[in-house]
């Protein structure tokens, strides 16, 4: 699976289970749409750290890194490259 697909699966199962099978555009603003909030971001971080074996630092917990599936993918790719 790709990082993008893994992130969408995490989002659907751990954070926003009520999405069901509703398709998500990888550029949709998940925060603005109310799909994730601050608690959702924290759940997302825990799952991302476990799934990808990375550590998200406090200063990296900014909306820009978790706003869209694409921004999350870029963030995770960068973190994995720098492990």
Tell me what the mean pLDDT of segment 3-15 comes to. 90
Own/partner pairs for 36-42, CB < 8 Å, 24+ apart?
A: 36/11, 36/66, 40/15, 40/16, 41/66
Task: Give 1's pLDDT tier (boundaries 50, 70, 90).
Answer: low
- Percent of residues, the chain, with pLDDT higher than 90: 69
CA-CA-CA-CA torsion sign (37, 10, 79, 26): negative
**Model confidence at 58: pLDDT above 80:** yes
Tens of pLDDT, residue by residue over 14-52, are: 888 777 777 789 999 999 988 898 899 999 999 999 999
Query: Which H or E element spans position 25?
Result: none
């Amino acid at each position: 699976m790709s990082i993008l697909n893994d992130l969408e699966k995490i989002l659907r199962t751990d954070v926003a289970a009520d999405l069901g099978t509703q398709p998500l555009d990888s550029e949709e603003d998940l925060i603005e749409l109310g799909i994730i909030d601050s608690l959702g971001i924290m759940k997302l971080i825990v799952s991302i750290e476990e799934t990808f074996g990375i550590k998200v630092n406090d200063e990296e917990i900014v909306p820009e890194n978790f706003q869209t599936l694409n921004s999350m993918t870029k963030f995770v790719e960068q973190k994995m490259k720098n492990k």
